[in-house]
Structure 1
């Protein structure tokens, strides 16, 4: 650093530690008040590490700042959670390779990531102050891509708006973003619309592809909207998440080619809890576990819904389901399990329902509210008890009525020794390479669980597995 630049920074009140440099090869800048923080954001360079002391801050924009993969710009609380942003609005605009880490956010304005890439929000605590509709984190703008929102706690949202929204430009969604290892909790009371925990895309750009990954998040008591997570674009993945005691569903509301994989839906008997709802084309739904859910119709454990438009129509309509593949899922003790076509006039077409374990004590385990067109059942196991019935007449190779010998392990049921589900899958879907626990499929059992002695690498998430303090 030149003597002139050092003198200017010192005159502005910014404390600069120029030796040793940060691990990324820039400088470590210590700030202790809002004015100094803003100056540091405005002048940040690749490799800089801006360390924010304990205290309360107002914040403003960070524009046209660029780190690199090897030399990111890092803005970090000196002690996690003790640097509190209580006023102002952060917009990271036209920037790249920038990380904000360890802050508590209680301000009243949306955190914006605009036209930027490789921006990361990690290990923060969001509990914004709300007086009316407020979106807490919004990814937007043209040429937005590869941003990450991870290991944060979002809690206590009681006005309209979402915790996290991924949008983009007027024509295309932001691409290759990742939302992972966050804890979302306590959103409500129930609204008719616009209070999802996470929204990916929007109807007006729903024909674009996001390639967004929403994974390994915990949703608890997320009761704000009929859709806890809503997907409104093409080619996104929602996997390995846990939904506990949350009213509503994971809804693929618009768009095609979604992958909904390895999620745990645990209702705990709470009213209105649901699983997955589908519209659109060519979705894959596999390795999901649904247990203790009470919802029906829109909130069924799995709703392969009808559509109100078919091959053309308004972008905000409910598009007819084509070619959904629903395989290797497990349903236990739900009020309603697999429903087909509960709403809207056009029934699903060319769907495959294969190698699922469906058990329950009431209603129809397979409930065709509308008769699907040219759809097939293969290799499923149904076990109705109490007042339940299978619900559809199918040959034994399509739906076998037999006790799968499930046994409880913690909050879920897995297949036990001697289960007729072992090595009985008939679908032969190559993309089902492992099970809900992350264990390799060998022989392939029916349902979400593969009976195996291999290490369990995934499972239902708890609070300690996600959020700022997790690994």
Structure 2
């Protein structure tokens, strides 16, 4: 959950021509240290002066206008309990343009809130700026390689809008210090990614979480409750290139970009909703768990078990690593193309993967193409399409009796033959897409039948600067 930002009462600073002055000439001390203050700035010079004075718990308010000089050095740190907050006085009315921006080098426990980044370099959270928060800003597709770059541990990126990029580059990239490391415990949530329209063949992801050379670094990142719309700048809307991450409860609509475990091992993909376009889920590398997702009405491949140019990568190169020992279970997949794809013709097919208790609702095309090796199947329901390359014992053919709810999600009717018919126990799956507990007799597909249906696709009202 996002940490609430409360306005701290304190001694109001007045910004003068010579700098930033304390009202009354000082501040009141308390038993736990100096009282927090509000500092005001209405120009780049005044903002520089205010930041040089900031202490833990202080709030620096930036007046409306365009700030094109800089980047302005922050240089001061707060604490986990008392961060320094740098905020637009009026959300969305203080804009960094041209060479303007903020330099967060060495500035830990700092909150950046309410700005528009329409500048050349976007914003970077360096590796030595730990525990920072970037919240309720708008990033407007700047011409740099990324609108926001995160290199530091324990960074929180929430309730921002990333919009309208037409050039190569990503909206948000998470990397780390050095050449091989990943930032740890980065939390990306409740952001709105809109209209990435770069027309090249590569390099236009909405989120890139890692890099090829960092793929085996243990990131422990969390990407959740984000909305992606018109994510067309790349074949990947979410591109994970690191290990041990959780990607859950995101919505991707009307996009060509997929949710992709492009590199790395041991990630969990759960409860995501992907609707329309050519989007889907694909994964490479070992030991991923892909459960409780809904991919509906896609014209692309709904679920791809990736083949590789290598198996069990040891070089952290750019080659695809075949998907081995992965579990794909309790998903609901529908569309006009192949619902399942194995290998994509690469030299090393996926191996020792499990497809279990999924609903595969096709619309004419063969349900599966390609084959893995040593694959495992149980409890799947197939309806509406020929099996393609699925072996005959991989599924049963029966109408799952799904009907779309008010939000367009396919839900089982009370008479659905999916109810209580899952054949695998799978202790990795204790909830359904609605985050309702699954009993011992689990239903097939993403939704455990219940008249209460709290899960729905995210909308603009749920994400971005104006969301709760």
TM-score normalised to structure 2 length: 0.90
- 8 Å CA contact 1:38, 1:60 repeated in 2: no
Corresponding position: 1:103 with 2:103: no
SS at match of 2:104: strand
What residue number does 1:139 align with? 150
Pairing 1:204-219 to 2, within 5 Å after superposition = 204-219=213-228
What residue number does 2:94 align with? 83
For structure 1, the 5+ residue unaligned runs are 1-5
For structure 2, the 5+ residue unaligned runs are 1-11
SS at match of 2:415: coil
What residue number does 1:384 align with? 384
Distance in 1 of aligned mates of 2:29 and 2:207:
38
What residue number does 1:12 align with? 18
> Of residues 125, 134, 138 in structure 2, which corresponds to 1:125?
138
Distance in 2 of aligned mates of 1:16 and 1:107:
31
CA offsets 1:24-53 (integer angstroms, 9 cap, x no match): 942110111111112222332111110112
What residue number does 2:82 align with? 71
Cα deviation for residue 156 of structure 1 reads: 0.4
Cα deviation for residue 311 of structure 1 reads: 3.2
SS at match of 1:45: coil
> Of residues 327, 336, 358 in structure 2, which corresponds to 1:356?
358
CA offsets 1:229-257 (integer angstroms, 9 cap, x no match): 11111101111100001113111111100
What residue number does 1:3 align with? none
Corresponding position: 1:451 with 2:449: yes
Distance in 1 of aligned mates of 2:412 and 2:232:
31
CA offsets 1:384-430 (integer angstroms, 9 cap, x no match): 25xx44642333xx411111100111221111111111111122122
- 8 Å CA contact 1:26, 1:49 repeated in 2: yes
> Of residues 28, 53, 62 in structure 1, which corresponds to 2:63?
53
What residue number does 2:374 align with? 374
Worse-superposed segment, 414-423 or 57-66: 57-66
Pairing 1:283-322 to 2, within 5 Å after superposition = 283-295=288-300, 300-312=301-313, 314=315, 315-322=317-324
Cα deviation for residue 350 of structure 1 reads: 0.9
What residue number does 2:167 align with? 159
What residue number does 1:242 align with? 251
SS at match of 2:51: helix
> Of residues 28, 39, 44 in structure 2, which corresponds to 1:34?
44
SS at match of 1:250: strand
Aligned residue pairs, count: 446
Distance in 2 of aligned mates of 1:98 and 1:21:
22
What residue number does 1:340 align with? 342
Cα deviation for residue 431 of structure 1 reads: 2.3
- 8 Å CA contact 1:332, 1:413 repeated in 2: no
Cα deviation for residue 325 of structure 1 reads: 0.2
SS at match of 1:100: strand
- 8 Å CA contact 1:382, 1:390 repeated in 2: no
SS at match of 2:67: strand
- 8 Å CA contact 1:229, 1:249 repeated in 2: yes
What residue number does 1:393 align with? 391
SS at match of 2:173: strand
What residue number does 2:409 align with? 412
Pairing 1:418-433 to 2, within 5 Å after superposition = 418-433=415-430
Structure 1 residues 179 and 392, CA gap change in structure 2 (3 angstroms): same
SS at match of 1:117: coil
Structure 1 residues 9 and 249, CA gap change in structure 2 (3 angstroms): closer
What residue number does 1:438 align with? 435
- 8 Å CA contact 2:259, 2:281 repeated in 1: yes
Corresponding position: 1:168 with 2:154: no
TM-score normalised to structure 1 length: 0.90
Structure 1 residues 384 and 31, CA gap change in structure 2 (3 angstroms): same
